[in-house]
Chain A
């Protein structure tokens, strides 16, 4: 994604490590991307690929023991990589917001939802009076498609269905009109008909408010339906990125290929699914070379030894794979012949 002045978010070579009982997990190992106003970036990858930690690093919500140990994060041009918690607290909610997979555990069960939406304004907008806040709460509920808002504000989270709770989460996240929303698997816990409603809602809100959205998902159908740009993560790195068409129709990296092939197609009958043998690398001792080398069908000698640099194909499409590096391919051919 080309660097330009309108970038809401730009992440440069960011690394995240997490101290755990079994050692230091190198969860994110040097990722770079940027995002403009009104655009949607989908970060795709399997569990443990580092997609959630990338976003938590961006918003400053790393778990205990987690630190950004390299690179920079710029929000609206402001470097927030090692910002103080007070600064971050000010930024979160007003500039950048996040919604999570499970809306039930993210909402307070003892507080009516109207109050939970209002809380955002109590914390960030001392200039708003009670009337203005109440009006904004109703406006937000209306925006996210919750009917009967006057009744609903008084109700508690358990009185809402899963899809409605996710709508409430979106309302809370967008109350202060942030420039950017991070949605971490927002529809994974929902049924498909409800998932369709929530995705439609997110697209609709983006059209109205021009919010930049990062959506983290492992569902390639969701990616195809909402994303402008896609970053594919594996073993803590972005191994391929580009616009949606680049990734779906002109993918280069063998992992992207495998991921797309292993997703069953609803519109095509097939009995045998493609599957990638093996399992993802252990990030306590990350592999020296390409993280996918151990499972890759087109592996060369160089792959296990050196990390491939990103190779640019056109505009924003790039893949980190030695197959597209002339030197590596010539060397491999030479050593075989």
Chain B
């Protein structure tokens, strides 16, 4: 399990907006992922978690830094083998399936493009296997996406990602558009598939409680940078970064007695614009424990305790 599958170092992705203004969507992110683990990536909208995912998989060309996958460097025009081994699942199962294609054709697209099937019989067998692996059945193959519910569509998206037998899946908010009871079904399915196929997941979400269930480790992003990265247990048991602490305390708990006795760390204001940021810590404007150094110097992500990384001057 200790084998490194993915290595991200100093990865940045900037966008130019308006006249010579720079939006630093992802700003010098470094992390590694072991084979077979699930890394949860959380943060509020606009923190760059989706952009990070898309840059890792090569949908965006990085502005700086590198992504190494199983020893090979990933670039936007990456070669065939890497395309097979990394797949992505998107948030909205309504817009990520072609409404004019039958489910069987949606699932076969990857198989056909990469010529994975040995024969027509093998092709249809693969489609049946894929449907069954995500809890659908053979008769669903000839239907169109509009005939399915949201949860079923997300299962089709998962089956499509699995069709080329990848090692690594980036799931970008895969359950956010689903109902609570359906979310649980999809999360359990992802966990079953991981166990059966030895998959590695980068699970991007904003729902901390769901992320806790599925992740081995969790990274917290704020305005393009990793604020904290630790094992699931450590992050929830002793969050170090002031932002992580505020984020955790903002989550409402489905237990009225506990809610009544809770003291929240209320963050003032909203996330600032990531365009033309001043130097210093990105969280400084909302931070309870701000010091002078925070405004002058951006803290680096460092290992505070074994396996527990945090980017804060105060820790």
A residues in contact (CB < 8 Å) with B: 46-47, 161-164, 191-197, 199-200, 218-225, 227, 244-245, 248, 258-260, 262-267, 269-277, 279
Contact = CB atoms under 8 A, between A and B. Distances in A.
A33 B42 CA distance: 39
A277 B210 CA distance: 18
Contact of A259 (B180, B188, B255): B180
Contacts of A265: 209, 253-255
Interface of B: 44-45, 149-152, 179-185, 187-188, 191, 206, 208-210, 212-213, 232-233, 236, 246-259, 264, 266-267, 270-271
Contact of A221 (B44, B206, B254, B266): B254
Contact of A191 (B44, B149, B182, B232): B44
Given A192-B206, A266-B251, A269-B236, A275 B181 contact: yes
B256 A273 contact: no
B252 A224 contact: yes
A221 B252 contact: yes
A327 to B, nearest CB: 30
A192 B181 contact: no
B213 A46 contact: no
B236 to A, nearest CB: 7
Given A46-B179, A262-B183, A279-B149, A267 B253 contact: yes
Contact of A266 (B44, B208, B264, B270): B208
16 contacts: A46-B179, A46-B180, A191-B45, A192-B250, A194-B44, A194-B270, A196-B266, A220-B254, A222-B252, A245-B256, A248-B254, A260-B254, A262-B183, A262-B184, A263-B209, A277-B185
Nearest to A192: B250
Contacts of B182: 46, 275, 279
A279 B246 contact: no
Nearest to B268: A197
A245 B183 CA distance: 25
B265 to A, nearest CB: 9
Contacts, number: 128
Contact of B247 (A192, A218, A220): A192
Report, nearest first, the 9 A-B pairs whose CB atoms are least far apart: A221-B252, A275-B184, A220-B254, A191-B44, A273-B184, A46-B179, A196-B250, A264-B209, A262-B184
A226 to B, nearest CB: 8
A269 B208 CA distance: 12
Given A269-B233, A269-B236, 15 more contacts: A191-B206, A195-B250, A196-B250, A196-B252, A221-B209, A222-B252, A223-B254, A224-B253, A244-B256, A258-B181, A266-B212, A267-B258, A273-B187, A275-B181, A279-B151
A192 B208 contact: yes
A326 B259 CA distance: 36
Contact of A271 (B209, B213, B250): B213
A274 to B, nearest CB: 6
A193 B267 contact: yes
Contact of A200 (B232, B246, B266): B266
A90 B254 CA distance: 38
A224 B259 contact: yes
Contact of A197 (B152, B251, B266): B266
Contact of B232 (A194, A269, A274): A269
Given A46-B181, A264-B213, A272 B254 contact: no
A192 B256 contact: no
A164 B271 CA distance: 12
Nearest to B192: A272
B251 A264 contact: no
A218 B179 contact: yes
Nearest to B208: A266
Nearest to A258: B181
B180 A262 contact: yes
Contacts of A222: 252
A195 B259 CA distance: 15
Contacts of B256: 224-225, 227, 244-245, 248
Contacts of B252: 195-196, 199, 219, 221-222, 224-225
B206 A275 contact: no
A42 B200 CA distance: 39
B256 to A, nearest CB: 4
Contacts of B233: 269
A218 B180 contact: yes
A161 B185 CA distance: 33
B244 to A, nearest CB: 11
A332 to B, nearest CB: 26
Nearest to A195: B250
Contact of B180 (A220, A224, A266): A220
A275 B208 contact: no
A264 B184 CA distance: 8
Nearest to B273: A161
B11 to A, nearest CB: 24
Nearest to B272: A161
Nearest to A189: B45
Contacts of B150: 47
A180 B66 CA distance: 56
A269 B253 contact: no
A47 B252 CA distance: 20
A27 to B, nearest CB: 16
A121 B240 CA distance: 49
A222 B271 CA distance: 22
A222 B264 CA distance: 14
